[in-house]
């Protein structure tokens, strides 16, 4: 543990941010899983709703600096491909 007061403060803020990022990342993964479940069931309306929510979460993760823009592009492309595969 650091002895310097500023570093102690920094550690506290880093921990808060890490917890917020972990929480948001978890919600993003949940949205993606819900989309994949809707696709697996073949429910197109539900899949479209879940797709929009997942895209929103992915974009927000990039805006917050949690994920890289290439990660987001890859995920969104994969989701769109799955959605388009539904008849």
Distance between CA atoms of residues 6 and 76, nearest Å: 40
Cα torsion through 57, 69, 78, 21, rounded to 10: -40
CATH 1.20.58.110 given to domain 5-85: yes
Tell me the whole-structure pTM to 2 decimals.
0.86
How many Å separate Cα 67 from the centre of its chain? 8
The 10s digit of each residue's pLDDT in 43-86 is 999 999 999 999 999 999 999 999 999 999 999 999 999 999 98
Distance between CA atoms of residues 22 and 35, nearest Å: 20
**Which residue has tokens 């479209």?**
48
pLDDT-derived band at 2 (thresholds 50, 70, 90) equals confident
Please spell the DSSP secondary structure of 3-26, one letter per residue: -SHHHHHHHHHHHHHHHHHHHHHH
What are the residue boundaries of the structural domains of the chain, listed by start?
Answer: 5-85
């Amino acid at each position: 543990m650091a002895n310097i007061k500023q570093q102690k403060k920094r550690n506290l803020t880093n921990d808060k941010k890490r917890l917020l990022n972990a929480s948001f990342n978890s919600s993003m993964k949940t949205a993606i899983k819900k989309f994949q479940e809707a696709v697996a069931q073949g429910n197109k309306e539900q899949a479209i709703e879940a797709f929009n929510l997942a895209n929103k979460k992915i974009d927000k993760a990039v805006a917050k600096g949690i994920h890289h823009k290439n990660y987001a592009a890859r995920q969104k492309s994969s989701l769109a491909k799955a959605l388009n595969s539904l008849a």
